[in-house]
């Protein structure tokens, strides 16, 4: 019974964290940029949300404010990268470091509880009478469905296609007259807006915000992306790829929940994450090598002399 409840909670949290993974997918796969801002922008979304809810702001409005704050963080990284010509990975690190102090300033302390304050989830629990896990799951699925539909539409527009072209081949995009720097900044802003939204939802779901809650978010997001690609494959439609990221996030959370139920020390959780990511990266490579090896038959190779004079 305990493991079933753990899996149920893992699914609900996996969906909420899946929104963060969607944001990482935009930079990692579409823009081809390793953006380390996300560790800071995830916590930023949570801290903004907690500070506003504590101040009496409507929890739904606090989600919108978190998105705007996350987009500003992504915009900052984009400006450092494009205008200041700082490498993307270093620009993300600089923004992430700065956000730690900013998050402390926003909340005034390292963590803020929301146990006795109204949240989106508490409102829906009172309205429907369902449990916390079910409400988190429903809210997460509604947000994920809306975001996937919105992203699918946006990246089919002229601006969205330009962002995708920038990630595919920046030189070619620039030669066609596209403003690749603007596309990068916009892509980073959208990405971190999604990450901050995820942080705000997770904060309201778990009932507290912490300045360190985004630590390791980039690795969790990458694990979700890679697990989803292993299951669905890379040669799928754009909409399916977006869905696979969320499914990967849910599977990652289920794996973690099951392993913890089996007695894994929580101190070893980051090691488990590293092993999962390494395995997810390695398995497709090994499968591809095996496929190529099976496709190669020396007996049919022209160099074997078969059929010669």
User: pLDDT confidence of 7, banded at 50, 70, 90?
Assistant: confident
pLDDT tens-place string over residues 54-108 = 999 999 999 999 999 999 999 999 999 999 999 999 999 999 999 999 999 999 8
d(CA 23, CA 42): 10
Q: Report, as an integer, the average pLDDT of 15-33.
A: 93
Structural domain spans, the chain: 2-294
Give the CATH number of domain 2-294; options: 2.40.50, 1.20.1300, 1.10.150, 1.10.3470.
Answer: 1.10.3470
Sign of CA dihedral 246, 248, 253, 254: positive
Q: Are 89 and 153 in contact (CB under 8 A)?
A: no
**Angle in degrees, 0-180, between the axes of helices 120-128 and 132-154, rounded to the nearest 10:** 120
Write the DSSP symbol of residue 113.
Answer: E
Distance, first Cα to last Cα, the chain: 73
Segment 176-217, tens digit of pLDDT: 889 999 999 999 999 999 999 999 999 999 999 999 998 888
């Amino acid at each position: 019974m305990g493991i079933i409840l753990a899996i149920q909670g893992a699914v609900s949290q996996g969906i909420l964290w899946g929104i963060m993974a969607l944001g990482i997918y935009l930079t990692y796969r579409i823009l081809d940029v390793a953006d380390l801002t996300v560790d800071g922008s995830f916590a930023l979304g949570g801290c903004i949300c907690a500070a506003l809810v504590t101040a009496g702001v409507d929890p739904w409005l606090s989600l919108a404010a978190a998105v705007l704050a996350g987009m500003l963080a992504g915009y900052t990284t984009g400006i450092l990268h494009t205008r200041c010509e700082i490498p993307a990975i270093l620009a993300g690190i600089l923004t992430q470091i700065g956000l730690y102090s900013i998050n402390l300033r926003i909340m005034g302390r390292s963590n803020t509880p929301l146990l006795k304050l109204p949240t989106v989830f508490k409102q829906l629990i009172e309205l429907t009478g369902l449990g916390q896990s079910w409400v988190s799951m429903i809210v997460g699925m509604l947000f994920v469905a809306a975001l996937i539909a919105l992203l699918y539409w946006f990246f089919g527009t002229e601006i969205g296609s330009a962002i995708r072209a920038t990630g595919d081949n920046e030189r070619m995009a620039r030669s066609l007259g596209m403003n690749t720097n603007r596309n990068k900044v916009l892509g980073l802003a959208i990405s971190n807006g999604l990450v901050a939204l995820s942080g705000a939802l997770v904060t309201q779901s778990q009932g507290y915000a912490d300045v360190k809650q985004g630590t390791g978010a980039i690795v969790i997001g990458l694990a979700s992306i890679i697990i989803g690609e292993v299951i669905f494959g890379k040669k799928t439609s754009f909409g399916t790829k977006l869905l696979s990221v969320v499914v990967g996030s849910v599977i990652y959370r289920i794996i973690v929940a099951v392993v913890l139920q089996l007695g894994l020390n929580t101190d070893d959780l980051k090691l488990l994450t590293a092993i999962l990511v390494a395995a997810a990266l390695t398995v497709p490579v090994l499968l591809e090598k095996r496929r190529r090896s099976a496709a190669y038959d020396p007996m049919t190779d022209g160099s074997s002399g078969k059929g010669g004079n």
